[in-house]
Chain A
Amino acid sequence: MSEFGAAQHALLRKRYASEKRFRRVGGAAVLTALAALALLLGSVLWRGVPAFFEQRVRLEVLLDEAVIDPDGLRDPISMAEANYAGLLKDALAAQFPEVSGRSEKRALVALLSAGAAYDLSDYVRANPSQIGQTISFEALLSDEVDLLLRGAGGREVAEGTRRLSDAQLGFIDALAERGLVRHAFAVRMLQTGDSREPELAGVLGASAGSFWTLLTTLALSFPLGVAAAIYLEELAPKNRWTDLIEVNINNLAAVPSIVFGLLGLAIFLGFFGLPRSAPFVGGMVLALMMLPTVIIASRAAVRAVPPSIREAALAIGASQLQTVFHHVLPLAMPGILTGTIIGMARALGETAPLLMIGMVAFIVDVPSGPLEPATALPVQIYLWAESAERAFVARTSAAILVLLAFLVLMNLTAVLLRNRFERRW
C-alpha cells in the first residue's frame, strides 16, 4: 500500500485550488449576467417610464351652445362633429390676449395635442348638462411640449433645428409659470391603440392583438403537440417512419421563424384566403412554429415517467389509453407545461412571421376578436422604433416594458400550474 504522503497532500491542495477557481469563474459569470440584465432593465425603465405620463394644461373653456349644439337637440352624433378644437383655441388664446397674428395664433394652438379636442368632445357627451357653462378643462399638450417640459426638448439648440419656435417656448414657459401645466399619469397609454401622434398612441391594441394571437397559438399547439407526443412515445410502432418523423420534428424546431411566416402567407392567406392581419392567422403560424418545441418537450416529459407506473396500470387491467391519461399524462404534465410556456414565451416575442402575414399594418382600433385586424406587441415595438417622432422612443421602451410584464406573468402562471400539478394526489 502506498503512503498518503507529501506528494498526495500537494495534489490535494491543487484539487482544492482548482475547485475554488471554478467557483470564482462561475460566480463571476452569474454576476456578469445579472449586471447585463440590470443594465437592460434599467435602460428600458429609464426610457420607458416617461411614456406613462403626459402633460396637460388647465384651461377655462366656454362650452358655447351655439358651437356645440346650435339646434338644441342634444343629439350625440351631431354634437360629436362640433368644432371643439375651436373652443380650445379660444380658451388658450384667452390666456395670451396680446397674441393677435394668424401665424402666431396657429403656433399657440399647435401646442395642444389633436387628442385634446377628442377629450373635450367625450367630456361634453358625458356631461351634456354643462353646455353653456364655462368649465375648467385639462387639455392634453403635444408630444413636443411633453419632451420639452421633461427636459428632453433641446432648448439649447438653435431655433431652426427644433420643432418648437422661440415664441412657442415663451408660451409654454408662461403657462408653466401661471401653474396651469400639470404632469399626470397617462391612462390612455393603456387604453388605446396605435396613433400617428405619439402622445395619443397606446399599447392596448397591440396587447389585445398579442392576446388573441397567443390564445390561438395555445389552443392549437398545446393539444396537437401533446397528442403527437403521446402518440409517438406511447402508441406508435417504432419503425423507419416514426424515426423519420422524429428527425423531421427535431429539424423543424430549428427552422427560422420567418420561414413559417412565408408558409403562412402562401397557405393560409394565399391558398385558403384567410383575412390579412388577423390574430387568428398569426396564431396559426406561431402554432406551427411552436409545435416542434411542444412535441419535443412533451415527449421528454412522457419518457421521464417511470416505466413501473405504466406496468402497474397495465397489470391491473387498464387499457393503454387509460394508462396514458390516468397515470402517464398527469405525471408528465409539469414537464409538458414548462415546455409549452417556453414555446409560448418565444411566440410572444416573435415578430418576423407576423410581418409576413400583414400584422404589421397601422391599426388604430383595438381588436375585439381573433378575426379583426390587429398587430402584436413585438411588431408594435418594431413599428414605433422606426417612427420619426422623437416621442416614440419612450413609447417603444414602454411597449417593451409591457411585453416583459406579459412574459413575467406567463412564467408565473407556468410555475403556479406546475406546482399545482406536482402536488396533486
Chain B
Amino acid sequence: MRFLTKITSRGVNVFYAEKQALFDVNLDIPKNQVTALIGPSGCGKSTFLRCINRMNDVIVGCRVEGKLTLDGADIYADDVDVVALRARVGMVFQKPNPFPKSIYENVAYGPRIHGLASTRADLDEIVIRSLERAGLFGEVKDRLHDAGTSLSGGQQQRLCIARAIAVSPDLILMDEPCSALDPIATARIEELIAELRESFTIVIVTHSMQQAARVSQTTAFFHLGHVVECGDTAQIFTDPHEKRTRDYITGRFG
C-alpha cells in the first residue's frame, strides 16, 4: 500500500433497534487524504461516519458490532474515553451549527474545556490560528466578539471547521458540509478541505459526485448499507468495477 491507514473497519454492522443500517462494512481510510463516502440517501454513509466518533452512542437503541480502529486502537473498546476520542476526531455537520455565543467563544470553547491553553494569550493564539486555517480570520478579525450566528451560512460553516480544528484533532469528519450552502461558499469550503488535507485526515460524506471527484483521493460507494466499492477516486469515477457503482455515478439511480 502506498499510504498509511488511519481508520480500519472490519465487519462493522450497525443496528437501530431492530433495523440493520450497515452490513459487514470493510473499509480502510488512508491518512492525510480526503476520503469521500458517496451513495443515495439512507445508504448508511452518515451512520458510518458517526460510528467513527461514536456520536451514535447518544441514539437510543443503536448498536455497533465488528471492529473499528483508529491508529490500530479499537474505537469501541471498553476503556476508550468517548470525550477523549471526540477531541481527536472533529466533526462538521450538514447544517452549520455555531453555538449562540461570540465568534471567539465558539472557537475557544473546545481548547478551554480540554485545557489546551494555559494563558489568555495562548487561547487567543489558538483562536486566531484556527480561524486563519479555516480561512475566516480576514473576514471576522474586527468582530470576533459578535455573535457566531450573525455570520452568513458559508462563514458559519467555516467557523464550525475552525471550532473543530481548534482542538488539534487527527481526523475531521464532515457530514455533507456544503449541502446547505451556495456554490461560491461551497467552492470556498472545498478549497479549504484541500488545504486541510496537509495536516488532517478528512472523511467527507457528500451527495454531490462532482464534489467527491474534486476533493477526494479515495471514494467509497455505499448502497443499502453495504460498501459496494472502495478505491482510488479517479478509478471509481472513470472505471468502476461494479455495475451498481457505474449506474449510480452515471445517474441511473440515486
Question: Which residues on A are within 8 Å of B, measured CB to CB?
Answer: 237-238, 306, 308-319, 322, 326-327, 331, 425
- Other-chain residue from B58, B60, B100, B113 in contact with A317 (beta carbon distance below 8 A): B113
Residue among B58, B147, B163 having the largest count of chain A Cβ atoms under 10 Å: B58
Q: Does the CB pair A322–B55 fall under 8 Å? A: no
Q: Does the CB pair A308–B109 fall under 8 Å? A: no
Cα–Cα distance between A238 and B93 once the two chains are bound (Å): 26
Main DSSP-derived SS at the A contact region: helix
23 pairs of residues in contact across A and B, judged by CB atoms under 8 Å: A238-B60, A306-B97, A308-B97, A309-B99, A309-B100, A311-B55, A311-B97, A313-B109, A314-B58, A315-B55, A315-B164, A316-B86, A316-B90, A316-B109, A316-B110, A316-B163, A316-B164, A317-B87, A317-B110, A318-B113, A327-B99, A331-B100, A425-B100
Residue among A238, A318, A322 having the largest count of chain B Cβ atoms under 10 Å: A318
Residue among A238, A314, A315 having the largest count of chain B Cβ atoms under 10 Å: A315
Main DSSP-derived SS at the B contact region: mixed
Cα–Cα distance between A312 and B92 once the two chains are bound (Å): 8
Interface positions, chain B 86-127, Cβ under 8 Å from A, are: 86-87, 90-91, 93, 95, 97-102, 105, 109-110, 113-114
Query: Which residues on B sit within 8 Å (CB–CB) of A326?
Result: 109, 113
> What is the size category of the interface that chain B forms with chain A?
20 to 34
Q: Does the CB pair B93–A312 fall under 8 Å? A: yes
Q: Does the CB pair A314–B99 fall under 8 Å? A: no
Q: Kindly state whether residue B167 has any CB partner on chain A within 8 Å.
A: yes
Cα–Cα distance between A312 and B53 once the two chains are bound (Å): 12
Cα–Cα distance between A306 and B21 once the two chains are bound (Å): 25
Q: Kindly state whether residue B83 has any CB partner on chain A within 8 Å.
A: yes
Query: Which residues on A sit within 8 Å (CB–CB) of B77?
Result: none
Query: Which residues on B sit within 8 Å (CB–CB) of A322?
Result: 113
- Other-chain residue from B93, B101, B163 in contact with A308 (beta carbon distance below 8 A): B93
Q: Does the CB pair B95–A308 fall under 8 Å? A: yes
Q: Which residue of B lies closest to A305 (CB)?
A: B100
Query: Which residues on B sit within 8 Å (CB–CB) of A314?
Result: 55, 58, 86
Cα–Cα distance between A312 and B91 once the two chains are bound (Å): 8
Q: Kindly state whether residue B160 has any CB partner on chain A within 8 Å.
A: yes
Q: A306-B97, A309-B100, A425-B105 are in contact. List 12 more A-B contacts (CB 8 A).
A: A311-B91, A312-B93, A312-B97, A314-B55, A316-B91, A316-B164, A317-B86, A317-B87, A317-B113, A327-B99, A425-B101, A425-B147
